[in-house]
Structure formats: structure tokens, C-alpha cells
Chain A
Amino acid sequence: EIVMTQSPATLSVSPGERASLSCRASESVSTNVAWYQQMPGQAPRLLIYGASTRPTGIPARFSGSGSGTEFTLTISSLQSEDFAVYYCQQYNNWPPYTFGQGTKLEIK
């Protein structure tokens, strides 16, 4: 099973600033990584797939990068609605699909 490790567990950033969230895979997953945003009490929302592709409707301030074992989700200028928990997921080797443990992005 591929283990996805996210860091940091909590990230404190001021609105308008840039946030970078990391995700590391225990072995190479190519670019088969997705990122999700989860607001309290809500289902996750897909932000990025294929490590760097945004689905229609996702704001351009969200970007993803990386390949192999190291991945980054960057939010270029934080808005109030961006403070949430973020998860990465690998879909290169399955079963099972695996998620990281999450990074909580909080207001500084």
C-alpha cells in the first residue's frame, strides 16, 4: 500500500498571502495525484487531478505541481473561503486508493 504523507499538519497563513502544502508518496506515483478541499461538515471537493490539472470551475489561484514522490498544492493569494482541510490522494497503484492525513490551513 502506498502511504501519502502530508506536511505540515497545520499551516497558519494570513489572508492574501501564499500557501504551499506538501504531499509525499512512499514510492513513485508518477503524476497520478489528486487534491481535495474539505470545509467543516461538508464533503471533499476536487481541486486538482493529474498532479496539476484544475477541473472546470476551480479558481486559478489553486495550482498543483510535482511528480514521482513529491507534490505541492499552492494557493497563490488566500481568500477567507480557502481556510479548510486539504487532502492529497494517489491513484497510481491500487487497490487501495490512499489519501494523506490532511493539512489544516488556518488563519494566522
Chain B
Amino acid sequence: QVQLQESGPGLVKPSQTLSLTCTVSGGSISSGSYYWSWIRQPPGEGLEWIGYIYYTGSTMYNPSLKSRVTISVDTSENQFSLRLSSVTAADTAVYYCAREVRDGYNGGYFDSWGQGALVTVSS
């Protein structure tokens, strides 16, 4: 059974770059059967999809965050990473990594999630 685990700093200063890594175990990112996403949830609020990456390096981002987001993959380490630049307090959230399953020719849903990492933006 696949497991995902987020790691990275829990505190980031305003205007700096948030960086998180998701380590995948129990399955290979390179299998090609899945896409790999980042999703966030501000405290007490709902879920916001940030973007995804395929093992080839192909990405797609939420247009609302596109100018600040970079998602990358390291297949040798079975990891994928998130970088979010120029952060403000509004970026304070629990950040989840998740495995996306494609439903035919449509988009996808998320069948496996990491436990989440709280990142606080504060000076």
C-alpha cells in the first residue's frame, strides 16, 4: 500500500520561499499510472488544489498560484517537491501531497494522501 510523507520547514518568513518534499513509499512514482499533487488547507477552511506533476516532469498548476508555484520530481529518490515563492500570511496552511488517479480521459481524484504538514508564514 502506497504511503506519502511530507517534510520541510514548519515556519517560513514573509516574502521567502516555502519548500516541501513528499516521499513516496510502497510504490514507484515512475510507474506512470498516477499523477502526483499538492493540495493545501488553511486552518479551519476548505481544500485548494495547488498543482500536479507526472513522472516525466510534466506539470499543471492552479492558475491562481501559477506565477509562484514550482513542482518538481526526483524519480531516483521517489520524491516530488513543492516550491511556493513570495509567501504571505495567506499561504499559512496544512500542505498535503496526494496521489491522483485519472478517471478515463477526464481529470482525477485523490486516493492516497500524506498526513499533512503545517506551514506557518510569520516573521
Query: Hey, which bits of chain A sit against chain B, CB under 8 A?
Result: 1, 30, 32, 34, 36, 42-46, 49-50, 55, 87, 89, 91-102
Check A44–B103 contact: CB distance below 8 A: no
Query: Hey, which bits of chain B sit against chain A, CB under 8 A?
Result: 46-49, 51, 60-64, 96, 101, 103, 106-111, 113-116
CB contacts (< 8 Å) of B106 on chain A: these are 30, 32, 91-92
Tally A-B pairs: CB < 8 A: 65
Check A46–B46 contact: CB distance below 8 A: no
Q: List 18 A-B contacts (CB under 8 A).
A: A1-B63, A34-B109, A36-B47, A42-B115, A43-B113, A44-B96, A46-B110, A49-B111, A87-B47, A91-B108, A92-B107, A94-B60, A95-B51, A95-B60, A95-B63, A96-B62, A97-B108, A99-B49
Check B109–A43 contact: CB distance below 8 A: no
In the assembled complex, the Cα of A29 lies from the Cα of B115 at a distance in Å of 29
Check A43–B116 contact: CB distance below 8 A: yes
A75 to chain B, nearest CB (A): 19
CB contacts (< 8 Å) of A87 on chain B: these are 46-47
B97 to chain A, nearest CB (A): 10
Check B113–A98 contact: CB distance below 8 A: no
